[in-house]
Chain A
Amino acid sequence: MTEENNGNVLNKKIERRTFLKWSGAIGIPAILGGVGAKRFLEKKHLDTASGSVEVEEPETIISTCSINNCGGRCVIKAHVRDGAVVRVSTDTNNEEDILTPQMRACIRGRGYKKMLYHPDRLKYPMKRVGKRGEGKFERISWEEAVETIAKEMKRIGEEHGPESRYVNYASGQSWGLFSGRNMARKLLGMTGGYLNYRNDYSSGAANIATPFTYGTNNSGSSFETLLHTKYIILWGQNPAEMINSTPYMHYLREAKEAGAKVIVIDPRYTDTSIGFADEWVPILPTTDSAMMDAMAYVIVTENLYDKEFVEEFCQGFDNSQMPEGVPGEESLVSYLTGKQDGVEKTPQWAEKICGVPAAKIIEIARAYATTKPAALIQGWGPQRHAYGEQVIRGGAQLASLTGNVGKLGGWAAGTGYWSRSGIVSPISSENPVEASIPCFLWTDAVERGTELTAEDGLQGVDKLNTNIKMIFNIAGNMLVNQHSDINKTTALLEDERKVEFIVVSDLFMTPSAKFADILLPGTSFFERWDIGTPWCYGDYVVAGGKVIDPLYEARNEYDVFADIADHFGLKEEFTEGKSMLDWVKVSIERTREEKDPSFPSFEEFMKNGIHHFKFDEPLIAFKDQIEGNVPFETPSGKIELFSKALYEMNKPKEIPAIAKYIPAWEGPEDPLIEKYPLQLISWHYKRRCHSTHDNNPWLEEAAKQEIWLNPKDAAARGLKDGDRAKVFNDRGEIVIDVKVTARIIEGVAGIPQGAWFTPDDKGIDQRGSVNVLTKQQPTPLAKANPQLTNLVDVKKV
């Protein structure tokens, strides 16, 4: 290996600089790089005992935890000097054993000082003075802000009824005891009620689809079970960037070192592939179900399926397994072998659709069926597509056919939740309104709420009495940035006759915050007490110590809504006389009393920063069903490869009763591909948690916002690495830098999601906010967001 042959990678301009003009942090001592080395120049030896060390202000270390919507929940240790956070470190606890890995922060966690002291922090309450969305605001007092909100809550409630009041999906602070959206809900619930939403934007299709197969979304097993697996398929899952869970990669690594082979299926050669894959299998977006069907075909026709398992635990495999009144041709085998629709789901059939060579499909199908136990683990990117429900049920189907369900080292696929981090969440709320909409349909509920029906996913009532007239958007960016079709959404919000009043609380002037009528400066996790719980996976909780007092006039939403409650004479009822710190202590006390006597005291917990719950056995999804004759929580008590409930919906083309490949609108089979020849996907970038951190200059420097294009697609458009290009379809256009990379397949473009919509004076986004290009068309069953289903073209600007 020589330098001459390979070129010096260090000379490549990979660490590209950016033009971003964020100025330096405020409020912290400015120490310029390297100056600190000076004092070591004179010293001959490092000798801390000699007393020769300069006396510094003592540093206090406070353990805390970010609770934004990150899959990871890590330990953030704030080093405080003179009342300012001077740096952060992470978990330093001893790893007692393999089950208590350090919960180290990733790049996002290490950049928090820049967020906390960002010069753009919102500093005081404001009211809108220009047109809505224009971004013109005027400073007001907290008293005026609180009074205005209380007045509007009353007015709109009286004029339009409680169903007109809505708390938008918001996940900026979602994994602690308090969250702004829940505080808003609590108070609205106490004052007449509000329109509910269901589901989420992360695994929306999966959350509805998986229970049709298994009866629950809790189809994941604790991560240490992976140490027993021999073959892992990460299907559209990218934990190295997304951080699905802080300890997850630790177990993946251990599994790999114990000999498990890792296959990654993804249109991009992800960081996960670089770090973990024995083999990368690229696939065209929205076609995963075709490959799954073909794998099932191979497994069934080559008799590689687990016959005993399928016979005992499944419904709908073949015509001997159909529920009463359903013809045999509706079975899985009938579909796979072409008896149902005349098309055999062969690997050759799938190759033409999904771009994975037939031989490779056969190889993976055989390996997955014969290497036992094996774990097919599904990411949620593939289900964020037009027919995302099918991908999720298809994965669960493969796990069931191979008998990998309920077994140590196997994996049931599907949504994959599991959690053993039970602490008591002491703050409760009630809503007298029963009406609820799928969260993705909130813009529909603004535009045509009274027209929504059960077909649209309206539940609790037959009809709504009103459209949404008031929105609380608390610590979230779903109001504009993270919802589909930004241009359509902003046009809707600009019309003040539709939504009459919008309250936003945030740290920054986000694209959503610009649409506030009253804009409140919120606090970061450094500025308040809390307890951080892991996402859907994990058996630990993290202490959320308060590090510093709120900066500027920033206030905790808990305290703000308590003050609004005061205008209704409900403050005491709202707070029960307790502060946030009191509630944290209540949670700990009650957890010790009701759940786990070994849970540490408040003081110990805050000192350790983390508590690992201890268990004698790994958690294995569906172990009881497989070993203990407990029925699955489905109507039949079986794993429903065929669901009679779906069958009876009588929409076989969009909601089939067994998992099927359905060609997506704006997929590779849509004729629109003639006009817009690139499939556009997005992904969860390592340098952001959704749209959080987008304005952090350190993180932008480390991983900039750019569109990934295959060298062939770039060349065909005359695009070079670093060029500016516009990406467009009928919904809009954005301008973004181009990264030409072989790490994405031809025909597919990738834009990391979450960049803040930053329109120029013509309304054209200059930052690369992917949701300008995504569509507001929900998936058929779950009514979920299909944000990875887009056709676009790219042109040099």
Chain B
Amino acid sequence: MVQLGFYINQSKCVGCKACVVSCKDKNNLEVGINFRRVYEYEEGEYTKEGDGIVPAIKAYSFSISCNHCTSPACLPSCPTKSIIKREEDGIVIVDQEKCIGTRFCIQACPYGAPQFDQEILKMAKCDSCLDLREKGEEPVCVTTCPQHAIEFGPIDDLKKKYGEVNQIIGMPNPLTKPNIVITPHRDAI
């Protein structure tokens, strides 16, 4: 099996959220459901130098969908075994015919990936745009990012190219072995 995953060049991210909206467009997601999400982080304050303002502000945006973890926390949490990790590429998908909407996966996932669909009362999530990939295309977020800051592919290749960072300030410990590689923003290290 070749495990696939995302690379996020967070150092380039301006937080535009085009990835969030193009994902909603492609997957027809109404307000409240976001397979890909952009989180904003900020800290810091100002000091005075005479009448001058001296900022010491750190802030960044971070785009994340599902990390298609090697040990996905969502999977064992599901009482109906409706979450499946695909053998061929390690992509984690949900079988909505089995899903009864317990939402245990939502509590289990440290990354906020599973999304609850209020209309059908079932879980939904990023499937790495399997349909597009089947046609030889990239996931929609990859071809969306105006900064070209998202890539998708075999995680080992991405690690070779971009290193091993899979956690930044504000992210949970990588206990689930997330298949994500990050080039962190200067304020996120």
Residues of A participating in the B interface, judged by any CB pair closer than 8 Å: 1-3, 6-10, 12, 14-15, 17-18, 20, 22, 24, 28, 30-38, 40-41, 44-46, 48, 53, 87-90, 92, 104-107, 109-111, 113, 240-241, 249, 253, 269, 271-276, 280, 282, 348, 351-352, 355-360, 686-687, 697-703, 711, 741-743, 745-746
Contacts and interface: CB of A to CB of B under 8 A. Distances in A.
Contact of A38 (B12, B28, B55, B96): B96
Interface in B39-68: 39-46, 49-55, 57, 59-62, 64
A22 B136 CA distance: 35
Contacts of B173: 2-3
A48 B137 CA distance: 12
6 contacts: A3-B171, A28-B28, A37-B93, A44-B87, A104-B145, A249-B147
Given A1-B189, A8-B171, A275 B31 contact: no
A46 B25 contact: no
Interface string B109-147: 011100101011011110100110111100010011111
B171 A10 contact: yes
Contacts of A240: 14-16
B13 A44 contact: no
Given A10-B39, A10-B172, A111-B25, A38 B17 contact: no
Interface of B: 12-18, 20-22, 24-35, 37-46, 49-55, 57, 59-62, 64, 84, 86-89, 93-97, 110-112, 115, 117, 119-120, 122-125, 127, 130-131, 133-136, 140, 143-147, 167-173, 185, 187, 189
B41 A9 contact: yes
A163 to B, nearest CB: 45
Contact of A357 (B25, B39, B54, B146): B54
B4 to A, nearest CB: 11
Given A10-B39, A104-B144, A271-B61, A699 B21 contact: yes
B147 to A, nearest CB: 7
Contact of B62 (A3, A9, A711, A745): A9
A110 B25 contact: yes
A30 B172 CA distance: 35
B28 A34 contact: no
A22 B31 CA distance: 9
A18 B53 contact: no
Contacts of B14: 240-241, 249, 271-272, 274-276
Instruction: Pick from A46, A110, A352, A687 the residue with the most CB of B within 10 Å.
Output: A110
A5 B131 CA distance: 40
Contacts of A703: 17
A241 B120 CA distance: 35
B52 A351 contact: yes
B130 A34 contact: no
B168 A33 contact: no
A8 B143 contact: no
A8 B172 contact: yes
A743 B39 contact: no
Contact of B16 (A30, A38, A107, A697): A107
A701 B40 contact: no
Contact of B50 (A9, A40, A280, A357): A357
B184 to A, nearest CB: 10
Contacts of A44: 87-88
